[in-house]
Amino acid sequence: MIKLNAFDRILLINIIQRQGGGVVRCRKYLLAGLSLLTGTAFAQSSVTLYGLLDSGLTYTNNVVGQNGAEGSQVALMAGVAQGSRWGMRGYEDVGGGNKILFQLESGFQLDTGVLGAGGRLFGYGSYVGAQGPWGTLTMGRQYDFIGWYFPAYAVASNTPAGLLAWSLPSYSAGGYTLDNRVWGDWVDNSVKYVSPNFGGFDFGAMYGFGEVAGSLGKSATTSVIANYNNGPFGASVSYYTQKNAVDNSTKRIVIGGAAYSFKAVRLFGLVSDVRISSGEKPRATTYELGAVYTLMQPLSIGLGYQYQARNNDVGNAQQLTLSVDYQLSKRTDVYLVGAYGRDRGFGPQVVAAIGGPSSGSSQTAVRFGMRHRF
């Protein structure tokens, strides 16, 4: 540890203040300042503060509100394109090409200040681990492989649609019981390993301890993945299971996705199949296809189509999503999203999580929002 006297501390603060910017940029000048004062280079460790803010106005028709009231709704909704969050991540170089890693991430609602993820301080992720030529091993509360890799193939995350395109694959109209987890879900008490890259291929395995007394398997989660990335093409396949601690049923997800980029166009898609082994053994198979076309560097247009088939005569559902995204700067964009959903089994809920279900078989939502990263 480097100890600074009062004069050195004042000098260091002045160096940082003259550079301007936020805390993240200050880290760069802090290291530079310490190097000037001590003659020591601090290249072996790093801590970064980061965050994302998203807010905007959303219009939704055919909404069933409180006390059974029905009608259109205009609401200020935050965390739609992406959940608002702040976090810290860092590493320490321990030699031999090995690093110690950590991440702490907190989600919140920008419009109310309420903590996300059920009120957990670091509910959006908290882990510590190690990385080296042998791969990466992390432990804590972290995304499973579906929530970590497959947004790269989804309409909701390739465009600013967010919750307006997460609703159907997460099975929001059916109470999220057949959620395919692509929008990002966490596993508590988990250990995750990801291999190094072998000619474009890598793989991973993850286990979440159920921690139920007297049973190793109850509430336990397992997840495996294989990825391939080579230039403009990428693809992934994953398998996920979770045991229910109450009825000992098993939720199983099989999913595959791919994306290809050429010139100003990115094409992507995925197929997920979710099944539950108990009761009537419900099942939902969801198909997504999408494209993003960059008209010019700051302006892009996105289009997505989603279709979901279900068993037990529940009926199918489909949704069409269109978006326009304009980059004001490298860190800030404004966007316009429109979505139309139709569900023959339930009243659709076009806006996942914070939206309302439809009073009929269809629903439309339009949103104008702003997103800022720091």
Contact predicate 178/283, CB 8 Å? yes
In this prediction the pTM is 0.86
Same domain as 335, residue 313: yes
Same domain as 263, residue 173: yes
How many angstroms from the chain centroid is the CA of residue 340?
23
pLDDT at 106: 98
Same domain as 112, residue 14: no
**Number of structural domains, the chain?**
2
3-state secondary structure of 8: helix
Same domain as 289, residue 271: yes
How many angstroms from the chain centroid is the CA of residue 50?
15
What's 109's domain CATH number? 2.40.160.10
Same domain as 164, residue 313: yes
Same domain as 22, residue 68: no
pLDDT at 68: 76
Q: Is 241 exposed, middle or buried (0-12, 13-18, 19+ CB in 10 A)?
A: middle
Same domain as 19, residue 141: no
How many angstroms from the chain centroid is the CA of residue 332?
18
pLDDT at 76: 97
Q: Which residue has the tokens 């979901």?
A: 308
CA–CA distances in Å: residue 364 to residues 234, 322, 337, 359, 360 = 32, 12, 11, 12, 11
pLDDT at 215: 65
Same domain as 53, residue 27: no
Residues in contact with 21: Cβ distance below 8 Å, sequence separation at least 6, in sequence order? none
Q: Which residue has the tokens 């882990």?
A: 127
Rounded distance between C-alpha atoms, residue 33 and residue 320, angstroms: 53
Buried-exposed string 104-124: b where 16+ CB fall within 10 A, e elsewhere: bbbbbbbeeeebbbeeeebbb
Same domain as 95, residue 50: yes
pLDDT at 79: 97
Rounded distance between C-alpha atoms, residue 117 and residue 84, angstroms: 11
Same domain as 348, residue 319: yes
Spell out, as residue ranges, where the chain has pLDDT lower than 50: 1-43
Same domain as 184, residue 90: yes
pLDDT at 4: 47
Closest among 76, 141, 62 to 111, alpha carbons compared: 76
Provide the 10 A C-beta neighbour count for residue 230: 10
Same domain as 302, residue 250: yes
Range of the domain at 9: 1-43
